[in-house]
Amino acid sequence: MTVYLIGAGPGDPGLLTRRGAELLCEADVVLFDRLVHHSLLALVPETAELVDVGKQSGAAAGPRRQEEINALLIAHGHRGGTVVRLKGGDPYVFGRGGEEGEALARAGVPFEVVPGVSSAFGVPAAAGIAVTRRGVSSAVTVVTGRVGSEGSVDWDAVARTGGTIVVLMGMESRSDITDALVHGGLSPDTPAAVIERGTTPSQRVARTTLGGLAEVTLGSPAVIVIGAVAALGATAEPLHVVGPLDGCRVVVTRGGARAGAVLDALSRAGATALHMPLTTQAGPSDGGAALAAAAATVHSYGWVVFTSANAVAAFMSHVRDARALAGVNVAAVGPSTAAALRGTGVEADLVPDVHSAAGLVASFPPPPESGGPRRLLFPSADIALHTLGEGLSDLGWEVERVEAYRTVALQAPDPALSARAAAADAVLFAAPSAVDAYRALRGGDGAALAVPPLVVCSGSATAQHARRAGLTGVVEAAGPSPEALVSALAARWGRPSPTGS
């Protein structure tokens, strides 16, 4: 048993270390902070337990809350397995990681620290500001933005030190910080910069002076840089590129590893993604006996048809290797499913131009009149629609549908997460089951949770199901790929959403 205190970096999920990513992929339990990018949680196995221990400002962030987190880490550590504590930035730079490590040590729980890129240095660098520079600044002081309280910074000493001052968590007290540093001897004309949501597509930078800090209207999280270097590097500073989804808050209901690609695509487009998985995949209700029997006789079928990567994984786990499919034709509903097949050494014989059940039926050949098997194997989810099976039967195929996996609803999300989802601008649904799971959620008043005004659905079947469920603002993506989902949302973002569309 080991607890890993992992730094997630300053915001961009690509700045997570390789060691951190490897451990997330092996985790049994993950306790994560509020500022951790949700796409990192998509690396976690579906069987792992996710625990949101994010602390808001105010009383909830006090010593008592930290003691509760310490107790959770110790309890999970004693149970065994791989326990990950995922923290923004570096766990030992204003991350309370030192306290958590000491608590684990006192309790006899082994732990390891996996450093991360600290926002104190990574965020200014991403904004083109070098916190040290020859002939300008040979020292850096990193401080928290606490002023006038017990244990706060000795601002007079900081002002006398010289060099660069980097302030974390200082936006709420920036006016007091200015007064304290000026009292300590710094000129109000000292250059300063504020970087909001650094290293992310939402990064914004305001160049000002120490005296002008109070007038900066950027929000948190932000890093404040004070000193001569804050006036340099403007020509190297990356401009904020407005993405097609800039400012759009999107709920992603898909779970598992595939959610990561969607979250990344939304982030690159400028959206703020909220990961709220509602369903997960479980083994077949019969333990896989029927699927194993079908796989053992796969050579007797003319075709095997796959409509999801999950079905590919479930079926291929019952065959020795790709040679079992020698002489059998294989169809995939779209590129993602075809890629999953290719990963097992099987190249799909048919991928329709229209990536849907209807598109697959329209592209499918009729069965042979003689001299070949007319049987067709369709490994599918337990709740898969009958569109494909019925369409292929109408062509004359003898369709044998076998349950490859089940889709089950997850436990209802935390009320605070649900409230954020209800206030979002859009929600993404990859399957009808996700629509049903969302509609089953309830708000704090017991009423059905509000649905965001834009409802982006992967495929016509999901879109039709959403409309039948009474949802409005429905947008049908051309396919299940992250690019298709982002494109469909971008085409409607910022425009009025006609009722019942």
The residues that are catalytic are 33, 55, 169
Half-sphere exposure (Cβ direction) of 79: Cα atoms closer than 13 Å: 11
The Cα 257–Cα 410 span in angstroms is 16
| 3-class secondary-structure state, position 323 | helix
Strand (E) or helix (H) holding 409: strand 398-409
Residue 80 makes CB contacts below 8 A (sequence gap 6+) with 1
Measure the CA–CA gap between 250 and 456, rounded to whole angstroms.
Answer: 10
CA 102 to CA 105: how far, in whole Å?
Answer: 5
Q: What is the torsion angle, in degrees rounded to the nearest 10, for the CA atoms of residue 458, residue 322, residue 284 and residue 432? A: 10
Do you find a cis peptide bond into 221, omega within 30 degrees of 0? Answer: yes
Q: For residues 314 and 404, give the distance between their C-alpha atoms in angstroms, rounded to a whole number.
A: 6
Q: Is the dihedral of CA 244, 246, 252, 255 positive or negative?
A: positive
SS3 letters across 188-230: CCCEEEEEECCCCCCCEEEEEEHHHHHHCCCCCCEEEEECHHH
The encoded tokens of residue 153 equal: 């910074």
Integer CA distances (angstroms), 186 to 131, 142, 213, 435, in order: 18, 16, 14, 57
Find, among 365, 431, 440, 370, the residue nearest to 410 by Cα: 440
Q: How far is CA 226 from the centre of its chain?
A: 33
Distance CA 281, CA 195 (A): 41
Burial of 105 (0-12, 13-18, 19+ CB in 10 A): exposed
Cβ(140)–Cβ(166) under 8 Å?
yes
Instruction: List the one residue out of 62, 224, 230 whose CA is nearest residue 144.
Output: 224
